[in-house]
Structures are given as C-alpha cells and as structure tokens.
Amino acid sequence: MTNHIRLATVYDAEELSILNQEFNGGTRRSSFEIKDRLVQGKELVAVASENDKLVGFACAQYFTSFCYDEPQGEITEMYVRESARRKGIATSLIAILEKKLQDLQVREVKILTGTNNLEALQTYTKSHYAKQEETVLFKELD
C-alpha cells in the first residue's frame, strides 16, 4: 500500500464530504461548499490517501491579532479511517500542517481534544505536543 500525504485540492471535495460525515455525522456537506471553502484559502486542509483513495484528513486555522507578535495556529480537525490507523498517517498529517503553518510564520500551534480521547492524545504526544491546563467553555449562539 502506498500512503501519500498532501494538501487538499478542489478535486478532493467529494471524498472529503464522505470522510467528514464519517467523522462528524449529521447531514453530509455538499462538495460544492467544500470546494468553495478550499478556494477561499482561509484554512489548511491536509489529506492522506492509500492507493489513490482518501483515508484521512486534518485541518488547521491560522490568524493574526494585535494581541500577539506572531500569527497563531490551531489544528482543528483530525480524522483517519479505522482501517488506515496505526500506520503513521495522523502524525504525517500533523507534520505537513505544521510545516505549512511555519511557512506562514506561525511559531506555536495548539490542539484541542477530549480528555478521554486516548488515541488522539497519544498521537499528539508522539508529535511533541504538551498538555496544558486550560478550561474550555462553550456556548451555542441563537
């Protein structure tokens, strides 16, 4: 099996739609909407393929603020199909996003994940992320 890690293109939209529904559930996102978001370029999306079929993706955001000297980065989503796990794909997805964020002058990246998501925590630790004590608050807006 040949694994390939790269940034997503508009040609990945249909497969990204399927993977995202597997990951997040709910109504499947239209490939048109995904293409539009990829073209806007406000998010980095990395994909992993095995034998020319997407098996995973990861997303990163970056932003600037007057509060900070340098741009800030966050890896916001990570999904690898069960059949493709434990092959180094997740750490490779993280690595490509980190490289692209670094190219954008980002010097620190954060990742939020559930405290009980042991597989994700192990992956992030393997990629040298350190746990910090923070409280995350959430509110749905009407």
The predicted-structure confidence for 66-121, as pLDDT tens digits, reads as follows: 998 999 999 999 999 999 999 999 999 999 999 999 999 999 999 988 888 888 88
Q: Are the beta carbons of 90 and 56 closer than 8 angstroms?
A: yes
On whether residue 42 sits in a domain, the answer given is yes
What is the pLDDT, as a whole number, of residue 42? Answer: 82
On whether residue 52 sits in a domain, the answer given is yes
The torsion defined by the Cα of 96, 132, 68 and 41, in degrees rounded to 10, comes to: 30
On whether residue 54 sits in a domain, the answer given is yes
Higher pLDDT, 135 or 36: 36
Residue 132 has pLDDT above 80, yes or no: yes
On whether residue 8 sits in a domain, the answer given is yes
On whether residue 132 sits in a domain, the answer given is no
- Number of folded domains that form the chain: 1
Would you state the structure tokens that stand for residue 82, as one six-digit string? 């069960």
On whether residue 134 sits in a domain, the answer given is no
CATH code for the domain in which residue 47 is found: 3.40.630.30
Beta-sheet strands, E only, within 18-90: 44-50, 53-63, 72-80
- Map residue 47 onto helix, strand or coil: strand
On whether residue 44 sits in a domain, the answer given is yes
The predicted-structure confidence for 10-69, as pLDDT tens digits, reads as follows: 999 999 999 999 999 989 999 999 999 999 988 999 999 999 999 999 999 999 999 989
Structural domain that includes position 26: 3-126
Q: Give 57's contacts (C-beta < 8 A, 6+ positions apart).
A: 8, 16, 19, 20, 45, 46, 47, 48, 77, 78, 79, 93
44-50 and 3-7 beta bridge pairing: antiparallel
Q: Are the beta carbons of 19 and 59 closer than 8 angstroms?
A: no
